[in-house]
Amino acid sequence: MSFRDSGIYSLLARLGAGLRGTWQAADQVARDKAVNTLEAELEEMETIFAVLVQGAFIGLPAPPAQISLDLLPIMEEDLVLLLDRVDTANEPLSRLFSVFEVS
């Protein structure tokens, strides 16, 4: 009977797989935590971009009209982001606390 067929090998293999799975889950959690703040920052940058380009629609200084209009047809996602932001616009601090997980 070879070592590969023994119960010890099977036990070690299961243990290895378990450790790998735990490592991967921990790695994913760590990566998620690491990018959460970056993603929030990215969302802010995208919102600023949308406000800069389409600011004319909400009474802000804006680029020459043709730049806003040329980009409008491909800015659907950015406009959705802008609309979503309307819901949280009144509570900027609570949003910031939630990004930094301050409770």
Binding residues for another protein (CB under 8 A): 31-32, 34-35, 38-39, 41-42, 45-46, 48-49, 52-53, 56, 63-67, 69-76, 78
How does DSSP classify residue 6?
S
Q: Min. distance of Cβ 57 from another protein in angstroms?
A: 10
Which residues have C-beta within 8 Å of that of residue 62, sequence separation ≥ 6? 52, 53, 54, 55, 56, 68
CB nearer to another protein: give 75 or 99. 75
Minimum Å gap between C-beta 101 and another protein is: 18
Say how far apart CA 80 and CA 91 lie, in whole Å: 19
Q: Closest CB to another protein among 49 and 85?
A: 49
CB of 87 to another protein, least distance (A): 18
Is the CB of 70 or the CB of 84 nearer to another protein?
70
Angle between helices 76-88 and 7-54 (to 10 degrees): 90
Integer-rounded Cα Rg, in Å, for the chain is 24
